[in-house]
Amino acid sequence: MVKPLLLVYCALDPSLRMSKKYRVGILGATGTVGQRFAQLLEDHPQFEITAMAASDRSVGKPYSEACAWKLPGKIPTNVRDIVVQPIEPPLDCDVVFSSLPGSVARETEEAFARAGYPVISNSSVYRMDEDVPLLIPEINADHLGLIEKQRQNRGFAKGFIVTNPNCAVVSFAPPLAALHRKFGVESAIVTTLQAISGAGYPGVASLDITDNVFPYIAGEEPKVEIEAQKILGIFTENGIEKADFAVSAQCFRVNVVDGHMVSVRVNLKNTATLEEVVDAMKTFPTLGLHSSPATFIEVTDEPSRPQTRLDRDNGNGMTITVGRVFPDNIFDYRFISLSHNTVRGAAGCAVLNAELLIAKNLI
């Protein structure tokens, strides 16, 4: 009787049918995003962490010693004893997740791609390269078509690099994508209120943020102003044809642990009613991947929502929550948009990218 039972049971959770788990190596394993990777992959049906790589002072130590764990809860037991290796190929894994700082990411990620590894990168260095997909799977999964060209350009035999966007961009690109598809976006003004975890650890000094608003995040405003156009661009034979709207960004750090809140005004190319605007967001489809939230973009009409602490964990941190959608005095519409910056905006987005790559038979 066990077999039929199992069949039925598995029908409820198809992921369990997979006999094989892909082996994952984490580059930058001891950092804030590296820790999130460890946490998100703890019970993942498709992945298991088999290699941890970090900087010299961690090499040779078990992960539990090398890593000053900064997330709630404990270091997942399945990675506690993995001995940290240097950040260079080969690593005993099928795919690498990278959260390396920009300074070392360019060379190292290329080395891994060249050595045949799919590199799922959370770093900023390759995001705007013409042959590198900048992915939010729900929005532009077809940009994976760039991988072929990337391999040709760079002489990668089997490996490749895909990236996920800047964590602030992830907060507002989804509702913008919903509007862009239906009505065309002409321009967008975004003002961000970003969490301290976005800067990693030790990151933001407490004296810089307690009872304070810090108005400067190095390099952030330019990133926010250019990434959305690529993400919302169209894949063609010749690469990505970027969306042709302008973005203006002012970025602030505020005193919250996790969750980037963004204030948005948007001008549309075609007329849309408030109902159509809300509907476009609400109905933007989620995917059926393991880490996909039930709702990709949730729209609330409660006047005081979303709030950073109360809504950042919606959909296990993978849902984008939008609220206060109103006609604007100067632009067509305004709204606010929130996402969890270290889940949806970093590690969770990378994991979703990897799940997408499996679904597309690219790893």
Which residues are identified as catalytic? Answer: 167, 260
Whether 21 contacts 47, CB under 8 Å:
yes
Q: How far apart are CA 333 and CA 175, in angstroms?
A: 12
Task: Name the residue with tokens 């705007």.
Answer: 128
Interacting span for a copy of itself (CB under 8 A) from 90-98, 154-162, 331-339, 352-360: 331-339
252 binds a copy of itself (CB under 8 A): yes
Q: In sequence order, which residues have a C-beta less than 8 Å from that of residue 90 and are 6 or more positions away?
A: 115
Instruction: Give the list of residues 6+ apart from residue 189 with CB closer than 8 angstroms, or none.
Output: 247, 248, 264, 265, 266, 331
Give the one residue of 71, 83, 358, 362 binding a copy of itself; rule: CB under 8 A: 71
Instruction: Report the amino acid identity of residue 153.
Output: N
Q: How far is the CB of 293 from a copy of itself (least distance, A)?
A: 12
Contact map string, positions 160 to 199, toward a copy of itself, x by CB under 8 A: ---------------------------x-x-x-x--xx--
Alpha-carbon distance of 91 to 115, in angstroms, equals 10
Say which residue the tokens 């009872």 belong to.
211
Among 311, 320, 325, 348, binds a copy of itself (CB under 8 A): 311
- From 234, 204, 206, select the one nearest 216 (Cα to Cα): 204
- Residue 129's CB is within 10 A of a number of other CB atoms, namely 17
Listed ranges 116-124, 159-167, 270-278, 299-307: which one lies at the site for a copy of itself (CB under 8 A): 299-307
Site string for a copy of itself, 83-122 (x = CB under 8 A): ----------------------------------------
Interface with a copy of itself includes 310 (CB under 8 A)?
yes
Q: Which stretch binds a copy of itself (CB under 8 A): 133-141, 157-165, 177-185, 301-309?
A: 301-309
DSSP-assigned beta bridge partners for residue 235: 240
Q: With respect to a copy of itself, which residue has the nearer C-beta, 271 or 330?
A: 330
- Which residues touch 229 (CB under 8 Å, ≥6 apart)? 242, 243, 244, 245, 247
Question: Binding residues for a copy of itself, per CB under 8 A?
Answer: 1-2, 4-5, 8-9, 32, 69-74, 187, 189, 191, 193, 196-197, 201-216, 225, 246-248, 250, 252, 254-257, 259, 261, 263, 265, 303-314, 323-324, 328-331, 334, 336
